Copies of this chain bind each other. A is one copy, B any other.
């Protein structure tokens, strides 16, 4: 028995397609078409779509094709607020619960991020970003609260694309570097209040940056929407 990795596998593939922009917001995800494309049956693909729907990456509509979610600014801000609360809790708990090894690992991620951040361009940006995500995920796991880590991961996944667009900017990269460093320092000194403050600052800055991105998007031509629907 294969323990149903297939649905999860498909979900993973779709997730990447969505986040990389291959599947643009608003695009329909038709059960039949995608199933034959991937060479699988509709059943597991259907299940995969449900998984993504729970994560908020796709939107189910009654009697309609599911579509790739296209969150509004408010929705993104709402999600970041929740993420912030979750991550602050993670950081505070991590101060108490994390092992030294775990904190060392977080520092390591921070430094790898630092090293890559200055030079990265093109495809390396994706790697940079994945390290960024791993950094935050590691903090959530260091809370030793699996439920928290899981929910945190779900929110992170949901906003992957938005965060990616934000993190890629040069000016944001500078800021992220120092903020990550501050968070690590707080963890190393096991200072929950400081960690909370730093994470708060970090994610508050993210909200500001995302807001700016959305405003840019509304004026000027679009960075996130693909051009295919103009064809």
Also in contact, A78 and B151, with CB within 8 A (given A3-B62, A54-B54): no
Indicate with 1 or 0, residue by residue over A127-157, a CB within 8 angstroms of chain B CB atoms. Answer: 0000000000000000001111001000100
A205 at interface, CB cutoff 8 A: no
List 9 tightest A-B contacts by C-beta distance, closest first: A3-B62, A1-B63, A78-B145, A85-B89, A78-B147, A79-B147, A82-B148, A85-B85, A54-B54
Number of copies: 2
A151 to B85, CA, bound (A): 12
Q: Which residues 70-91 in A have Cβ within 8 Å of B in the complex?
A: 75, 78-79, 81-82, 85-86, 88-89
A14 to B56, CA, bound (A): 24
A85 to B54, CA, bound (A): 21
A41 to B54, CA, bound (A): 23
A50 at interface, CB cutoff 8 A: yes
CB distance from A140 to the nearest CB of B (A): 11
Write the chain B residue with the least CB distance to A93.
Answer: B81
A151 to B3, CA, bound (A): 27
A154 to B225, CA, bound (A): 32
Q: A78 and B47: CB pair below 8 A?
A: no
CB distance from A15 to the nearest CB of B (A): 16
Write the chain B residue with the least CB distance to A7.
Answer: B50
Chain B residues near A147 (CB-CB < 8 A): 56, 75, 78-79, 82, 155
Chain B residues near A75 (CB-CB < 8 A): 146-147
Write the chain B residue with the least CB distance to A1.
Answer: B63
Ordered by A's residue number, 17 sampled pairs between the chains whose C-beta atoms are within 8 Å are: A1-B63, A4-B62, A47-B50, A56-B147, A75-B146, A75-B147, A78-B145, A79-B147, A81-B89, A81-B148, A82-B86, A82-B89, A82-B148, A82-B151, A85-B85, A147-B155, A151-B151
CB distance from A5 to the nearest CB of B (A): 9
CB distance from A1 to the nearest CB of B (A): 4
Chain B residues near A47 (CB-CB < 8 A): 47, 50
